[in-house]
Chain A
Amino acid sequence: MTPRAAPSRLNREVSMKKTLFLLFALSLLAGCQHRPVGTFSPDPGTSKPLTVVLPTTAEPAAGFDPAFGWGAGEHVHEPLIQSTLTVTNADLTIGYDLADSMEVSGDGLTWTVKIRDDVKFTDGEPLTAEDVAFTYNTVKAASSVSDFTMLDYAEAADGTTVLFHMTRPFSIWPYTMAITGILPEHSYDPASYGANPIGSGRYILQQWDRGQQVILEANPAYYGAQPRMEQVTILFMEEDAAFLAVQAGQADLAYTSAAYSDQGVNGFSLLSVRTVDNRGINIALADGSPLDAPAVRAAINRGIDRQAMIDHVLNGYGTPAYSVCDELPWYNPVSEVAYDPEGSRAVLNGKGISLTVHYPAGDSVRQGLAAELANQLGELGIEADIKGVGWDTAYDDARYNPLIWGWGTHTPMELYNLHHSGPTQYVLYSSKAVDAYMDQALACTDLEESYALWQQAQEEIARDVPWVWLVNVDHLYWVRGGLHVAEQKLHPHGHGWSIVNNVDQWSWE
């Protein structure tokens, strides 16, 4: 996550929601009419339109502009409206979208990417290497959400060749290329592009009613396989409203959470998508903490009954988590531990350890996880209680108290950010060996090789246990009978746009 911005926004939105609820109640008293959220009625003859409900937090505040975070950041997803150079495959290895080939120089400082020559923006202009270079230089200058400090500048060598000059070797550059939508140089205006994006992707933005809905229409001139869903309407709703919309049959697919999973809705089934949307606690704390010993931390890691946690808090919709990157190509299964309450109790009991587990106030899943964790720690001989905190104080408090975090994204950079002793640090942990492996991984010129180095770093991390990972939270959706949702890759943190990554391949039976 880019946790500094998003969660506090979430908190605000929770209070906002309550305020709105009060206002809404007042407006009912005053006899006001709430404007109904309309579903688009299709022209007869076109294929059946699709209505998808996403959370209100998924609506991009700055619009659909990759330079201002569309597709990138905390909740990565494919930009749909724009093309990208690369894509992440179902197994999170790298595939090609615009790119035909890519290679990196021996010193890792120059990437050469060849792009296809048959791509046009939806305004009819061809997409060239100039547009790609322009995009990356623009995104670097805007530097809103993504980190582009490793890029010096991009240039077009000819119409179909782009050169990326790097400031430092960055082997996982293809993962950055997978989330950067390409802008049209000839018509790009940062002031208006977000609301009126021109791209070359699978869909065209037809209409955007802020705070309400987005209507996407298939791009007839798309260079790849023609999208099977002609028209996709995205509605933004709170969780309870989304559930009511499903009950009323106003949506074909709507996000939901474990709290609703025991409800049945006629004509809809529950779709559970596996994720790396993990929750975990940092337990390498400031000096003097009773957890300042790897043996103690490892004992806690072994003593957590993750399956019980999933059954209790997530109604069974989750998988045990052992790292920030479970099941991704750079994951090392050595992180996995067997549940061993006796062994754990033998280490922890009688040590008189007491902890306060913090969680972000207003996040009921994390509150439930914190409560369950405190119960389990109690059985291991650790006196634990819980406390809800705001993001304004959570970061500083996390130096002294474990906090329930949520992470999980489609690049190894997160592993780096959470464990490297460099400037971006969320945990008081430093290991020379881990630093060295990860620096080598970034300096590598071969992606496959770098995976092995990331895995070696995790071997060291598994010995030190700076984090205890608890669960990966499944993403749940109500799906109308007859709608076939294409196979999903592991969703990252954030229950938003990921589900429609491949909406072009969905179909009606």
Chain B
Amino acid sequence: MKNRRRNTLFFIILAGTALCSVTLAGGLLYEGAAAADFAQKNLPPCPAHPFGTDWMGRDMLRRTLAGLSLSVRVGGLTAAVSAAAALVLGGAAAAFGGWVDALISWITDLVMGIPHILLIILISIACGRGLWGVTIGVALSHWTSLARLIRGEVLQLKGAPYLQLARRLGVSRGRLVKNHLLLHLMPQFLTGLILQFPHAILHEASVTFLGFGLSPEQPAIGIILAESMGYLTTGRWWLALFPGLSLVGAVMLFALAGERLRLLLSPATAQD
């Protein structure tokens, strides 16, 4: 496929634009998203309210955008924290070996051994719930798989002939890491980073859906979906459909972008 580069670029730009515009729109609409207007309640989708309104007359488009922007921000922060933690811990484990490696691997296994959703709920409650509770919970639970990947990769690279050779030739340690190690890690790192996004978004939505995160007047996709459950039997399909589709759309976008980036950056498939 000769246009994979363009294709991938297109997806990444699309995802980036969507990310920025949703965050921006959500930030701008945040105030209005919670405003109740009982004169406009239970309206099906119409030009003035493309996503309809709910039982308190809140505009579902605004709520959805504000909710998605929260998800995207949580996703972004999670990805950043996870990536940094993974790089430092994975790198350290592989580079130092011995007891450092044992300790870091043990912590990784420990965190991985607890189901994500449980860990997020625990951390979120311990941090006093609310926006920060959820954000910290999601951010602190997603670094493990990337850390493992980086550790494995660094371990493998340490034994690679070209690195051994470079060291024998007297290349300094700093340059070795910067020019040879980090550059080589880039594909895995970037792909892992982008693929954190859909995970984090889904987990944020799950926790708010279960009611452990934000209070119900705050816009979050999970809260919107949980609320809509009560109205499905009365035929208010728009309350679940559009926010649900938006969530699926956001998750798919990042998953596809990440997947394409992986294919492009991985040496085995880059030339396909």
Contact = CB atoms under 8 A, between A and B. Distances in A.
A244 interface: yes
Nearest to B36: A371
Given A243-B233, A259-B55, A372 B36 contact: yes
A261 B36 CA distance: 20
Interface in A364-397: 364, 367-368, 370-372, 374-375, 386-389
A240 interface: yes
Given A259-B55, A372-B36, A375-B36, A15 B233 contact: no
B36 A368 contact: yes
A239 B232 CA distance: 12
A240 B232 contact: yes
B230 interface: yes
Contacts of B232: 240
A368 B55 contact: yes
B265 to A, nearest CB: 35
A21 interface: yes
B32 interface: no
Given A15-B211, A19-B210, A312-B41, A367 B233 contact: no
A18 B215 contact: no
Contacts of A389: 215
Interface string A34-73: 0000000000000000000000000000000000000000
Interface in A223-274: 239-240, 243-244, 259-260, 262-263
Interface residues of A, number: 31
Nearest to B58: A371
B97 interface: no
B38 A372 contact: yes
A205 interface: no
B209 interface: yes
A259 B230 CA distance: 9
A18 B234 contact: no
Nearest to B57: A312
A312 B38 contact: yes
B249 interface: no
Interface in B211-232: 211-212, 215-217, 226-227, 229-232
A262 B234 CA distance: 9
B211 A361 contact: yes
Contacts of B216: 361-362, 364, 367, 388
Given A260-B234, A361-B216, A367-B217, A21 B229 contact: yes
A18 B210 CA distance: 6
A313 interface: yes
A154 B236 CA distance: 57
A102 interface: no
A361 B226 CA distance: 13
Contacts of A368: 36, 55-56
| 6 nearest A-B pairs in the assembled complex, by CB-CB distance | A388-B215, A312-B38, A371-B36, A240-B233, A388-B216, A15-B211
Given A21-B229, A374-B36, 12 more contacts: A19-B210, A240-B230, A259-B231, A312-B38, A312-B41, A361-B216, A364-B230, A367-B56, A367-B216, A387-B217, A388-B216, A389-B215
Interface of A: 11, 14-15, 18-19, 21, 239-240, 243-244, 259-260, 262-263, 311-313, 361-362, 364, 367-368, 370-372, 374-375, 386-389
Interface of B: 34, 36, 38, 41, 55-56, 209-212, 215-217, 226-227, 229-235
